[in-house]
Copies of this chain bind each other. A is one copy, B any other.
Amino acid sequence: MECVFGIDIGGTNIKIGKFYGDELAESRRIKTDKSDVGANILGDVARVVREMRGGDEIAGIGIGVPGPVVGGVVLGAQNLGWKEFNVEEELGKFFPGVVIRVLNDANAAAVGEWAYGSGAGFSSFILMTLGTGIGGGLIVDNELVEGASGSTGEIGHIRVGYHNDRLCTCGLYDCIEQYASATGVVITANRLRVGRETILNEIEVTAKNIFDHAKLGDEVCLEVVNHMVEKLASALAAITNTVNPEVIVLGGGVSKAGKFLLDRVEKRFRELAFFSVRNTKFALAEMGNAAGMYGCAYEARKKICKLKDSALN
């Protein structure tokens, strides 16, 4: 049978899925070997793909990497130790004749969520993933927008402060990532809890604890959430004024705070957004960690179709 692989390379794990059409047939997870500036990663991937292949023919491989991608080349993936690197060519050496589609990992997750999750049925859509950092992806007119330098959806680095208060991992100050990611809310909490009566002075300060105790009514935790929501809603308003999607989907670990978070973001967004985008829909992501694998497989199939189409014309 013909199969397609969807592979999501993260800084900690690599998720590999084998698909028959839209259906995930099997998936595996391996550790990311970051030794030797990530030189073993593609070899590890190739070995597992060959094992999983069985007697099937591989029609295509979609692979998501944590960095900007232009034409199959990742411009740099700090988390893996990669500098500029032609992933399409290098992975292609293991699989001659197989169609390879290289994507940014957040873009891949956006495609997965749009094609199979909360974005299904919408023609334009933005995913914002609130994890350790913040990433995202944009669909316009049913197509992934990757951008001139593969950086569409780098929405974690929208500036939401003007006092050079929080240094971001990217080297800039006051990126939304420093306020609304899991890391960001912990920074806020560690500032706000000082000298206050709050459970945060008795337990570990994590995003999960902050949200759990905000739900239980801890005032400092609620303040932390409100602070995050203010910055996040502003960034989402900026995004929406720029590209005006039908729906905004929040994903990533922090979005597990669920409706408690979503309702607050949505309410403040409606207050902060330009009048004609106030009715933008909001939803929580549904695909979890599998979104990237699904999105990679989807885009690999799409590339196969396009190549067939252009061969016919």
Residues A159 and B234 in contact in the complex (CB < 8 Å), given A124-B148, A152-B242:
yes
Which chain B residues lie closer than 8 Å to A240 at the CB level? 151
The B-contacting residues of A in range 246-278, CB under 8 angstroms, are 246, 272, 274-277
Q: Please encode chain A, from 151 to 195, with 1 for each CB lying within 8 Å of some chain B CB and 0 for all others.
A: 111110111111000000011100000000000000000000000
How many whole Å from A108's CB to the nearest CB in chain B?
Answer: 16
How many chain A residues touch B (Cβ–Cβ < 8 Å)?
48
CB distance from A71 to the nearest CB of B (A): 13
Quote the shortest CB–CB distance from A239 to chain B (angstroms): 5
A242, B239: Cβ atoms closer than 8 Å: yes
Interface of A is mostly: loop
Does A64 count as interface, using CB distance less than 8 angstroms? no
One digit per residue, 1 when the CB lies within 8 angstroms of any chain B CB and 0 when it does not, for chain A 128-153 equals 00000000001011010111111111
A209 within 8 A of B: no
Per-position contact with B for A230-250: 1 when CB-CB < 8 Å, else 0? 100011011111111110000
Given contacts A159-B237, A162-B162, A172-B272, contact A245 B148 (CB under 8 A): yes
A280 close to B (CB within 8 Å):
yes
The answer to whether B237 and A275 touch across the interface, beta carbons within 8 angstroms, is: no
Given the contacts A145-B140, A148-B280, A274-B172, A242 and B161 also touching, CB distance less than 8 Å: no
In the complex, what residues of B have CB within 8 A of residue A75's CB?
276
- Output the nearest chain B residue to A230 by Cβ-Cβ distance: B162
Q: Which of B124, B148, B155, B275 contacts A242 (CB 8 A)?
A: B155
Q: Tell yes or no: A292 within 8 A of B by CB.
A: no
Q: What is the distance, in angstroms, from A178's C-beta to the closest C-beta of chain B?
A: 13
In the complex the two chains form, is B159's CB within 8 Å of A243's CB? Answer: no
Chain B residue with minimal CB distance to A154? B241
Q: Which of A147, A272, A279 counts the most chain B CB atoms within 10 A?
A: A147
Q: Is A68 an interface position by the 8 A CB rule?
A: yes
When C-beta atoms are compared, the residue in chain B nearest to A275 turns out to be: B170
Tell me which of B238, B244, B277, B280 contacts A159 (CB under 8 A): B238
Pairwise interchain contact A277-B149, C-beta atoms closer than 8 A:
yes
Would B276 and A244 count as touching, CB distance under 8 A?
no
Complex-state Cα separation, A152 to B141, whole angstroms = 13
A244/B150 contact (C-beta < 8 A), A238-B238, A275-B171 known: yes
* A138, A141, A170, A238 interface centre (most CB from chain B within 10 Å): A238
- Please, could you name 27 A-B residue pairs with CB atoms under 8 Å apart, sorted by A? A76-B275, A124-B148, A140-B145, A141-B143, A145-B243, A146-B244, A147-B243, A147-B245, A149-B280, A151-B240, A151-B241, A151-B244, A151-B277, A154-B242, A154-B276, A155-B241, A155-B242, A157-B237, A157-B241, A158-B238, A159-B272, A161-B162, A162-B230, A170-B275, A172-B272, A235-B238, A239-B242
9 nearest A-B pairs in the assembled complex, by CB-CB distance: A147-B244, A68-B276, A148-B246, A151-B244, A152-B244, A157-B274, A154-B241, A158-B238, A151-B276
